[in-house]
Amino acid sequence: MKTAVVLSFRAMGAFRHDLLRDPRGIRIVLIVSDLEWATVDAERHAYFHQVHVVPCAAPDGGSLLSSAVDPQAARAALREVLAEAPGPVTLHCFDELSMIFAAELRAEFGLRGPLPADILPFRDKCVMKERLIAANVRVPRFGRYRAVDSDDLARYFDHIIAHVGLPFILKPIDSAGSHGVYVISTLAELRAADARIDADYEFEELITGTMYSVNLVSQDRRVLFGGVTEYLVNTLDVRRGQVNADINLADDDPRVARMVGFATQAMAALGWPDGASHLELFHTEADELIFLEVGARFKGLAGLAAMQRNYGIALVNLALQVEAGVASEPYPDEQIYCFDAVIPKRSGVVDQLHGPPLVSNIEITWKVKPGDLVDETDSLFAAGGTILVSNKDYDVLYQDFYRLAGYQPITYRSERSR
């Protein structure tokens, strides 16, 4: 009997346990932080043969870090699983935050799958771009940000401008969801950002254009699934209050083959581990494709759920089939075109919630309610809600996608008027 250990629940909300071809031949064990486990619906508890709930490694880190597991407790849990497993064990992770740690555990316990050297190019954005430049993949101009004395910051500002232009981006080399990202236009903005930086950062050329993501499930450097989504706005615009939606392009859209080809070139340069990957790129007005970043995991849960319904493929099951040899039956539900959207928050007291004026079917999950005092969204993990939009008519769905451009989902009142 096989045992598949999953580190973190992220992406497992889209897992279809009912499709397992031989559920008695596989034990699925979850290692999860107490904060993340508290958010998991009770109906999904039955997915797992065992659940090891361990302390969160960053209990005060907010939603971005809620899935971080205490390393020693997670290590002890894995050791316990290995001691009692009746057959081979594999370790899986679809959480950006824990990808390196999962690789370290594989190396420590002799488990097959990506090791730290395999995952590093998907976590360190500078290593990532260095590999891609060597493979002639167009990336933004960039450099590692280094700490300098306050008196030297003006000269360093000039150095960065000479290298990547103005304005430029400052962002952590190993974060996700636009967390901790700054757009720098002035020396004063650099000084303010520099005072808040407490991690390894890079500076990067600001690219303009339409953002897309290429989502793959691969095995032995072959694409088993490849889909492309178009973003309504860029991720930084979400932090400025605009609703972000991304729609799955039709398979016969000529952008799909071109962008999947671009992604496979990038993946080949980075080592191309088996399983899921999520690559973001820009398509510029000059018709150039420019790499942004890539993770060796699925996109966020709302987007993953939309992809599964849109393509009629149980993608998490497919990834586990690739990584652990766990076969599943074909996706049985009706295939329907759909896309997801993230609702950002602005600072203030929530007054009213408004649904979008769309023709298509809408499913909204609100994470705020009237009367809540909220802070401005600082990453895509800190959303006010998510929307799933579906329609059997792709043309109508695509029109609804653009209707969201002017949608204002939340109205606020000042804290004084509470």
For the chain, the domains span 2-123, 141-205, 336-418
Q: What is the pLDDT of residues 312-334, one digit of tens each?
A: 999 999 999 999 999 999 999 99
What pLDDT score does 238 carry?
61
What pLDDT score does 391 carry?
96
**Which residues are bridge partners to 279 per DSSP?**
214, 294
Q: Which two tokens stand for residue 46?
A: 């039955």
Three-class DSSP category at 165 = coil
Residue 193 Cα distances to 145, 184, 201, 203, 273, angstroms: 12, 8, 11, 12, 35
What pLDDT score does 16 carry?
94
Cα–Cα distance for residue pair 252/256, rounded to 1 Å: 7
**Average pLDDT for residues 359-374, to the nearest whole number?**
93
Strands 2-7 and 89-92, sheet pairing: parallel
Burial grade of 309 (CB within 10 A; 0-12, 13-18, 19 or more): buried
Q: What is the pLDDT of residues 101-130, one digit of tens each?
A: 999 999 999 999 999 999 999 999 999 999
Hey, which CATH number is domain 2-123, 2.40.110.10, 3.40.50.20, 3.30.565.10, 3.40.50.1110? 3.40.50.20
Hey, which CATH number is domain 336-418, 1.10.3470, 3.30.160, 3.40.1130, 3.90.1170? 3.90.1170
**Average pLDDT for residues 281-285, to the nearest whole number?**
96
Phi, psi of 68 (to 5 degrees): -65, 125
Three-class DSSP category at 172 = strand
**Average pLDDT for residues 18-27, to the nearest whole number?**
95
- Is residue 416 pLDDT above 60, yes or no? no
From the CB of residue 408, how many other CB atoms can be counted at a distance below 10 Å? 11
**Which residues are bridge partners to 53 per DSSP?**
32
What pLDDT score does 406 carry?
83
Question: What own/partner pairs with CB < 8 Å and gap ≥ 24 does 228-234 have?
Answer: 228/253, 228/255, 228/256, 228/259, 228/260, 229/299, 229/303, 229/307, 229/339, 230/255, 230/401, 232/341, 232/401, 232/402, 232/404, 232/405, 233/405
pLDDT > 70: what percent of the chain? 95
Tell which residue, 70, 118, 61, 63, has the closest CA to residue 98. 70
- Is residue 414 pLDDT above 80, yes or no? no
| Confidence category of residue 177, pLDDT binned at 50, 70, 90 | low
| Confidence category of residue 281, pLDDT binned at 50, 70, 90 | very high
DSSP letters along 119-139, please? HHHHH-HHHHHHHHHHTT---
What pLDDT score does 377 carry?
67
Q: Tell me, what amino acid is at 258?
A: R
What pLDDT score does 381 carry?
63
- Is residue 337 pLDDT above 90, yes or no? yes
Identical topology for domains 2-123 and 336-418: no
- Is residue 200 pLDDT above 50, yes or no? yes
What pLDDT score does 302 carry?
75
Q: What is the dihedral of CA 281, 283, 288, 289, to 10 degrees?
A: 20
Q: Which two tokens stand for residue 232?
A: 């309504």
Q: Which two tokens stand for residue 52?
A: 């090891």
Q: What is the pLDDT of residues 224-277, one digit of tens each?
A: 999 999 999 876 666 666 788 999 999 999 999 999 999 999 999 999 999 999
CB 144 within 8 A of CB 151: no
| Residue in the structure block whose two tokens are 């009213």 | 352
State the average pLDDT for the chain: 92
Q: Tell me, what amino acid is at 185?
A: S
From the CB of residue 162, how many other CB atoms can be counted at a distance below 10 Å? 9
What pLDDT score does 360 carry?
97
DSSP letters along 311-361, please? HT--HHHHHHHHHH---BPPP-SPP-EEEEEEE---SEEEEEE-----SSE
What pLDDT score does 224 carry?
97
| Confidence category of residue 150, pLDDT binned at 50, 70, 90 | confident
| Residue in the structure block whose two tokens are 């340069």 | 269
What pLDDT score does 180 carry?
80
Cα–Cα distance for residue pair 221/213, rounded to 1 Å: 19
Q: Which two tokens stand for residue 99?
A: 């990808």
Q: Tell me, what amino acid is at 60?
A: D
Q: Which two tokens stand for residue 268?
A: 């080949």
Strands 289-295 and 222-231, sheet pairing: unpaired
| Confidence category of residue 99, pLDDT binned at 50, 70, 90 | very high
Spell out where 129-190 has E strands.
142-144, 168-172, 182-184
Hey, which CATH number is domain 141-205, 3.40.50.300, 3.30.1490.20, 3.30.1950.10, 3.30.1450.10? 3.30.1490.20
What pLDDT score does 376 carry?
79
Which of 24-33, 306-315, 338-347 comes out lowest in average pLDDT? 338-347
Q: How far is CA 219 from the centre of its chain?
A: 20
What pLDDT score does 418 carry?
47
pTM over 0.85: yes
